Amino acid sequence: MLICKQINKSYSKTILSNFNLEVRQGEIVALLGPSGSGKSTLLKIICGLETLDSGYVYFNGKNLENIPPEKREIGMVFQKLALFPHLDVRGNLKFGLDKKSDIKEIDEILDLVGLSDYGKRKIHTLSGGEAQRVALARSLIAKPKMILLDEPLSSLDANIKEDLAIEVRSLLKKLNISAIYVTHDPKTANQLSDRIVYINAQILSDE
């Protein structure tokens, strides 16, 4: 379970002010708000890529303050996906495994995201939807306890976005992984999440 308590973050202006959020085990929460409202910053604070000015982030009962990102067991799919261009699909997925892991897991996860024959494909040859699935698979293969999705569907066509949102939801539910999905699109938020949290400038309301 994730608890964000009284989170404050400012750069040249205030991004987040006394922000609170709870995500239960297996729950998918959509964070909905306009550009610049601090959605992506919040995700980076949760996974440890950004520091907070004040407040607390608890995950499964542990205060994450001094835990580095790599030890938080939280995965993230970035807006631009960040698939490594020098590696093929299999290479990107392998990046999510440690040395002890069974290499068969790559085939299993490719099956799971419906890309069984894509292992040797170069990243730049993938379509938007395929790249999105690979990015999700790469995060999932590392077996995180929670996954953060930073508008990964934003660049896709409406039809593909709708189908993929449903697919992502069923996949996360199947694996019982908690997730926060950041978006500015209410339709996708509705399709994908169990609950929507609105974030607008510094004012946050839970609905």
Partner 1 sequence: MKIKILIVVIWSMLVLVPPLISWQQLEIVAEQTILETLRNFDSRFQTQGSISFTFFVAISSTILTMIIGIPLAWNLGRYKWRYHIILRSIFTVPFVMPSILVAMGFLSLLDWFEVIFGDNNSQDLRIYSLLLAHAWFNLALVVRFCEPILSTIEESYEDAARLLPSGNTKLKRFGRLWGPLLLPNIIASASLVFVFSFTSFALVKFLVPAKRNLEVVMSNQAEWAGVEIPALGRAPSEIVLASSSIQLLTIILALAISSKLQSRSQGHHLSSLKDSRKEVSFFSIRGLYILMMLIFIISPLFALISSSFLVRENGVMIWSTQGWVAAFGGTHSPTNVYQSLYSSLSYAFLTVLISLPIGFVLSDSINELEKEDSKFSTILDILVMFPLALSAVMVGLGVLVGIIRTEPELARVWWIPIYGHLMLATPFVVRVLLPAMRNLNPEFEQSAALLGAGYLKRLMTIKIPILAPSIIVASSLVFAISLGEFGASWVVLRFTEYTTIPVMIGNILSRPGYDPLLRSVANAAGTVLLLMTLILFIGVERFRPVGRGGEF
Return residues touching partner 1 (CB under 8 A): 44, 47, 49, 69-71, 74-76, 78-82, 84-87, 94-98, 101, 123-124, 138-139, 142
Nearer to partner 1, 137 or 204 (CB): 137
Shortest distance, CB of residue 78 to partner 1, whole angstroms?
Answer: 4
Nearer to partner 1, 86 or 207 (CB): 86
Bridge partner residues of 18 (DSSP):
none
CA distance 16 to 24: 22
Shortest distance, CB of residue 205 to partner 1, whole angstroms?
Answer: 29
C-alpha to C-alpha distances, 148 to 47, 48, 104, 118, nearest whole angstrom: 8, 12, 25, 24
C-alpha to C-alpha distances, 57 to 4, 49, 81, 99, 118, nearest whole angstrom: 5, 13, 25, 30, 38
Nearer to partner 1, 156 or 204 (CB): 156
For residue 82, the Cα-to-chain-centroid distance in whole angstroms is 12
Alpha helices in the chain (DSSP H): 39-47, 89-94, 104-112, 128-141, 158-175, 186-192
* Torsion-angle region of 114 (φ positive above 0: left; ψ -120 to 50: alpha; else: beta): left
Shortest distance, CB of residue 141 to partner 1, whole angstroms?
Answer: 9
Nearer to partner 1, 42 or 204 (CB): 42
Nearer to partner 1, 56 or 84 (CB): 84
Shortest distance, CB of residue 68 to partner 1, whole angstroms?
Answer: 8
Shortest distance, CB of residue 15 to partner 1, whole angstroms?
Answer: 17
Residue 32 main-chain phi, psi, to 5 deg: -110, 130
